[in-house]
Structures are given as C-alpha cells and as structure tokens.
C-alpha cells in the first residue's frame, strides 16, 4: 500500500447529506466541504459522491462560490460528481484501499483495491449498507479490480509508511465489536496479506470523544518512511494526557526496518471542545496529504499556528492550508476522515 504522500490520481469526497451527523451545525458543513474541494483541485482531481443526480448543479454552485487558493482560477474541470448513494460522508473508513502490485514476475493490473467489511464503527449507528458498497460502486465506474477482505477494518484506523510498516491501535483493531472471533495474530496476518505490509506497530488508546474506539488518524501519522508525528497533551489534568504520553513512549521505543528509532515530531492538542457536555475528538493529527498540499484542521485557537508550522517543517515540498473544522468535528471527525486518496497506479519494484 502506498504512503499517503505518494502521487495521487484523485481524492474522493462524499458530499454531506446526513443531517444527524452534524446536529444543529449542518447548515455550515457544505461550505466547509466546498473549501476542501476548492483547495484540492488546485493540486489534483476531486471525485465527489452525491446522493443523486438532481443535486449535482447545487453542489457545483456551492463549490464555485468558494474562493480558490490565493485567488487563482478554480479548476472546476478537475471536479467529477458521481451519483452514488451513501449513508454518511466518512469515506476514509469505508472507501477502497488501493495497493500497487509488485513488479517482479507479476502480470495483470498494476493496481488493485481492497474492499474491507464496514459495520458502522462496531455497530454504533444506524444502517451502513450503502457505505459498505462504495468500493464496488467505484470499481464499476472506474474499472479497477477489487479484492474483498473478510474482516472489518476502517481506513482511519491505520496508517502506512509505504515501506512495509503499519501503525494502528489496540483499542480499535482488537476491540470485540469489530472482529470478535479474531485474535491479535490473526488480525496482523490479515493486515500483512491484504495490505502488503511486513510489520505492525501498536499504539494503545485513542483520544477522548473518539467514537471510533481510537482511530490512529487522530493520534499519530507517518510523515516519511522514518518519521512519525503524534499529538501530545501538555495539561496533566486533561483526560488525554495519560493515554497520549503512553503512545509517545511506545513510539519512542519503536524501530524502523533498519532497526533504528523513528524521528518523532509532536503536535499540540487544541483546547477541549464539547457538544452537549461530551468531549469532541478535535485533533491536528487528522490532516490530509495530497499532491503538493497538506490540508490541516484549524480550531480557532493559538495552537493552530503551532500545528501548521510543525506540518510545514515536516512537508517542506507542500503547502499547508488550514480548513476551519470546529463545525466539522461536531460530527466527530475532520479532514482526514472525510477524504480518501486514489494513488497513481504503478508497479513497485520488488
């Protein structure tokens, strides 16, 4: 599986339509999606799934109303709208996971997509039948090959470095609400078989308010084959302090393929955000890496600048653009949760 920073053919989004996902905040969410799309099309194509063809005109008009990057012309020719019905917009967790085929001795397609089972984050919410069919629907449209994996797995629950290593959490992948009949060894074996990785690196718990049981894209991310950035909480009284310190200790003890420590960078946590007295999973680790750009959530606080400056140092060849995400995280997710990359097909030399 290619790392997220490797070249993209396109990014997939699912236009927001489920009012229950952002209770009381939905009215502002389409404009935020439009800002994400407008930022991305300056660098790569964007494929947006809409509930039906009747909404295509309105979606295009909302995107057109958003200013392009630095006032440059908005590349509407890079936006493709697809009438594919979904239950919700979190395509990171149910979309296709693309892999490039090893070149030596292999014929056939250069790229395949893995279709993992999706059960609405351990059965927490309502119907997810439409979401679970998205990889097959996209494969029918774009004619890529799909392999079905008999295992529940969400795309936000793991991260890869493109060099055989995968980062994930015990609290999510080993949770009994995903694959109750599988133990750690069996989970690891499936990850190796279906994602082409060699070694799994385990973190512990997720952040407070994360209804996914601890997705890694709110905790720690590869920013290079030997570099990982992780969020840390500075306030010892905060509920996130202890689990994030534990994850930081684990990361510092991990080794790359050469047996050397990773370079570990840190991102701050924003001040706590709440909805109805419940902590929201606001995290700067929920950034998205696209061609030439990194989209990072911002939460209207001083930590925004620190996070953006950190990501700019980690990605010197990309622009870092902030997307206001206070209303997005009301739905318990942010930018990475709402995007899925389609890497450029290529053969990896064995």
CA angle 220, 225, 229 (to 5 degrees): 25
Residue 102 has phi, psi (to 5 degrees) of -65, 135
Contact 94, 125 (CB under 8 A): no
Residue 214 clears pLDDT 90, i.e. is over it: yes
Can you list the domains of the chain with their CATH numbers? 8-343 (3.75.10.10)
Residue 6 clears pLDDT 90, i.e. is over it: yes
Percentage of the chain beyond pLDDT 70 is 96
Contact 121, 154 (CB under 8 A): yes
Contact 63, 74 (CB under 8 A): yes
Averaged confidence pLDDT in the chain? 95
Q: What is the model's pLDDT at position 101? A: 84
Average pLDDT over residues 176-191: 97
Average pLDDT over residues 268-283: 96
pLDDT digits (tens, 9 = 90+) for 100-152: 987 656 666 789 999 999 999 999 999 999 999 999 999 999 999 999 999 99
Q: What is the model's pLDDT at position 72? A: 76
DSSP 134-190: HHHHHHHHHT-EEEEEEEE--GGGEEE-SSSEEEEEHHHHT-TTT-TT--HHHHHHH
- Give the whole-angstrom CA distance, residue 201 versus residue 167: 5
Buried-exposed string 201-239: b where 16+ CB fall within 10 A, e elsewhere: bbbbbbbbbbebbbbbbbbbbbbbbbebbbbebeeeeee
Q: What is the model's pLDDT at position 346? A: 84
The residues carrying an active-site annotation are 337
Q: Cβ contacts of residue 60 below 8 Å, gap of 6+?
A: 76, 79, 81
Percentage of the chain beyond pLDDT 90 is 92
Of 11-15, 48-52, 109-113, 134-138, minimum mean pLDDT range: 109-113
pLDDT digits (tens, 9 = 90+) for 225-244: 999 999 999 999 999 999 99
Residue 350 clears pLDDT 70, i.e. is over it: no
Contact 198, 161 (CB under 8 A): no
Tokens of 289: 């890496």
Contact 219, 205 (CB under 8 A): no
Residue 182 clears pLDDT 90, i.e. is over it: yes
Q: What is the DSSP letter of 17?
A: -
Average pLDDT over residues 237-263: 97
pLDDT digits (tens, 9 = 90+) for 63-92: 999 875 666 788 999 999 999 999 999 999
């Amino acid at each position: 599986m290619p790392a997220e920073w490797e070249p993209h053919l396109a990014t997939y989004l699912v236009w927001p339509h489920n009012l229950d996902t952002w209770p009381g905040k939905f009215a502002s969410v389409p404009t935020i999606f439009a800002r994400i799309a407008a930022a991305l099309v300056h660098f790569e194509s964007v494929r947006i799934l809409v509930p039906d063809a009747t909404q295509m005109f309105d979606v295009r008009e909302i995107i057109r109303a958003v200013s392009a990057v630095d006032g440059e012309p908005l590349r509407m020719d890079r936006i493709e709208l697809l009438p594919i019905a979904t239950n919700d917009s979190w395509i990171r967790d149910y979309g296709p996971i693309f892999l490039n085929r090893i070149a030596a001795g292999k014929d056939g397609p250069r790229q395949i997509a893995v279709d993992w089972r999706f059960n609405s984050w351990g059965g927490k919410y309502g119907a997810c039948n439409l979401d679970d069919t998205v990889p097959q629907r996209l494969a029918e449209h774009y004619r890529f090959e799909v392999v079905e994996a008999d295992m529940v797995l969400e795309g936000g629950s793991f991260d890869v470095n493109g060099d055989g290593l995968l980062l994930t959490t015990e609290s999510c992948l080993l949770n009994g609400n995903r694959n109750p009949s599988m133990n750690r060894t069996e989970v690891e074996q499936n990850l190796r078989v279906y994602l082409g990785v060699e070694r799994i690196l385990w973190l512990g718990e997720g952040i407070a308010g994360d209804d996914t049981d601890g997705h890694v894209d709110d905790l720690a991310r590869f920013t290079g084959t030997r570099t990982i950035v992780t969020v840390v909480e500075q306030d010892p009284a905060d509920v996130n302090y202890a689990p994030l310190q534990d994850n930081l200790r684990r990361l510092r003890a991990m080794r790359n393929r050469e047996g050397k420590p990773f370079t570990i960078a840190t991102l701050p946590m924003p001040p706590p955000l709440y909805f109805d007295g419940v902590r929201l999973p606001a995290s700067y680790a929920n950034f998205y890496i696209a061609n030439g750009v990194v989209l990072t959530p911002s939460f209207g606080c001083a930590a925004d600048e620190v996070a953006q400056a950190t990501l700019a140092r980690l990605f010197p060849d990309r622009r870092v653009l902030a997307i206001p995400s206070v209303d997005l995280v009301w739905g318990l997710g942010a930018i990475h949760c709402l995007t899925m990359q389609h890497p450029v097909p290529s053969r990896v030399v064995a």
